[in-house]
Structure formats: structure tokens, C-alpha cells
Amino acid sequence: MEVDILEFKVPVDNNKTLFVWDIQPSHTEDQIYEGLYSVFSSYGPLYLLKVCPNAPLNPPGFYALIKFYSAAQALKAQRQTDGCPLFQNSPLKVRLSSKQTPHFLLDSSRPLSHARCLELANHCLGFNGWTSDIITLKELTNEEEGEEEEEEEEGGVRRRRLRFGCLLQLSFPHHGQMTRAAAVVEDSFTCAGEDSFTCTGPDVLIQKRCRLQKQVREKALVQAFTAVLLILLGINTLITVHITGYKYSDYCSFYWVKEFSWSDFAPDEEEGDDEDWDLTVS
């Protein structure tokens, strides 16, 4: 039986990456993207699809990079599309990447962004295949953290810090599996007036609190998904859910989890590493 595993982590393995050549300039870049996406997404969820024009010294045309979450789906797509015209009149070359992935990337694979986690979970499990429930979401005060002061003053400028913690449960009702995760985020800002609430204004504090609450919920959900493995079985792609070894007791305190600052949450930051492509194929 063919078995494949999907993780909620940024795919870095070369056997999940396809390169497509000999794309003719008879279509626009947007049309090529739509054509490639329509074909290759039918084999499984895609993490990345990029279309770029050929280098100036090469004939006019385009090439593309496609990343799957699943190595088995990438291999099947390569075998069934290589040498086929797909959306154009001439055949395309589709190859698996043979680039050697550095060990430090394999050992430190990053979790998917919040949006990518939702996309992958909904694609594989359906919108009713999983649920998330917030157990606790609270602002962490200085008294709880054992600190004496909430504000610090440097050179006449006051700095105020807001911190929120969230404990969340992720459940898969059709598979009888669940896991919990926690996250802490913070944001700090300066205030030059005597009264930090007056100089920043209550509307600013409300906006900052709302943003942090949203971010800590998303971060906790991402942390929960990192413990999930989707196991694909057989020809009909039967999906089972496996939770790695986390215990609920691990999350009895927010202070045991890693802290995250507001600057850690750049959207879709995991796509930035694909700028330098090594067009090495097998």
C-alpha cells in the first residue's frame, strides 16, 4: 500500500519540487499560471507555484517552479505531465528537482503560516473535518509575570508593553484525535506624555489589543497544527490523522512556551527563500 505523510511545515525536500520548461510565450503570465495551477493542483495541494520569464539570452518564453506538500503527489504529477502539451500546442518538460537540500534546512523546517495551515487542512479534511476551540485567551499582567512595573521610562519617553497568551485545542472529530497548544505574543510602544493612556488614546490601545488577540490565536493554532501528521493511504487517498507526542499537562502555564514579538509575524514569510532557484533536475 502506498503511504505518504503531509506535515504542516514548509516543504524543503527536493522530491516535492517540480521545474517546468519550454513554456511558449503565446500566453500571458497570468494565463500560464492559471493553466499550470489547474493541471497540477488536481494531483494535490500546492505550497507554491511561480512563473517567470526566461533569461534575456534564452529564447522567449517562461519557466515555472511548483512545490507540493507531498512527495508522492509530486512524483505522480511529474510522470503524467512530462512531455505533454497541457495548455499549449507544444510539449512541456517537467522534472523533479535534484538539488541537494542542506541538512540545516531539513533539521529546522519551519511551520506553515496561519493561512497555509487553514488552506492545507481544508483541502485535505474539508471544512467540517477539524475544529479549533479557545480554552483561555487573556492579557498577561506584570503581577502574573512577577515584574514590578508595567511601564519603563528612558530619556523622558515611556514604553508600554502589552502581552497576551492563548491556550487552544485543535480537534479532528472524524478521526477521534485532538491536541492542544499555547502561544504568547507581545507588542511595545512609546509614549512621550505624562499619562500613557491619555497620550496614546484609548482607541489606540483597543486596536493594539485586538491585533494581539488575533495574532496570539493564530499563533496558537499554528503551534497546534505542527503536531499533526496527515497520513495518505492507498489509491483512493484515505486520510488519517496522527498527533505527535504532546501532553495536555505541557500547557498548564503560558510561561512555559516561547515568547513571540509582533515583528515575528510577517505574512507569508516562508515564501521568501525561493528567490534563488537552482535549476538542477533529475
> So what's the pLDDT on residue 75?
93
Whether residue 154 is predicted with pLDDT greater than 70 in this model: the reply is no
Average pLDDT over residues 88-104: 79
Closest to 183 (Cα-Cα) out of 137, 143, 144: 137
Q: Which helix (H) or strand (E) holds 99?
A: none
> So what's the pLDDT on residue 277?
55
Amino acid at site 204: V
Q: Mapped to the 3 state alphabet, what secondary structure does 10-38 carry?
A: CCCCHHHEEEEEEECCCCCHHHHHHHHHH
Q: What percent of the chain has pLDDT over 90?
A: 50
- The per-residue pLDDT for range 160-185, each reduced to its tens digit, is 788 999 999 999 998 889 999 999 99
Inter-residue contact 27 to 87 (CB < 8 Å): yes
> So what's the pLDDT on residue 58?
86
pLDDT category of residue 61 using cuts at 50, 70 and 90:
very high
Closest to 29 (Cα-Cα) out of 48, 46, 47, 54: 54
Reading the block at residue 159, the C-alpha cell is 514604553
Q: Residue 146 to residues 43, 140, 184: CA-CA distances in angstroms?
A: 53, 11, 16
Give span(s): CATH 3.30.70.330, the chain.
12-107
> So what's the pLDDT on residue 216?
95
Name which residue leads in pLDDT, 146 or 15.
15
Instruction: Provide CB contacts within 8 A for 51, sequence distance 6+.
Output: 23, 29, 32, 33, 36, 62, 63, 64
Residue 219's region, left for phi above 0, alpha for psi from -120 to 50, else beta, is alpha
What pTM did the predictor assign?
0.77
Inter-residue contact 161 to 130 (CB < 8 Å): no
The chain-wide mean pLDDT, for the chain, equals 79
Average pLDDT over residues 89-99: 88
Q: Which helix (H) or strand (E) holds 137?
A: strand 131-139
> So what's the pLDDT on residue 279?
56
Whether residue 103 is predicted with pLDDT greater than 60 in this model: the reply is no
- The per-residue pLDDT for range 247-271, each reduced to its tens digit, is 443 444 443 344 444 344 444 544 4
> So what's the pLDDT on residue 33?
95
Reading the block at residue 264, the C-alpha cell is 515575528
> So what's the pLDDT on residue 157?
63
Inter-residue contact 181 to 132 (CB < 8 Å): no
Q: Does the domain spanning 12-107 belong to CATH 3.30.590.10?
A: no
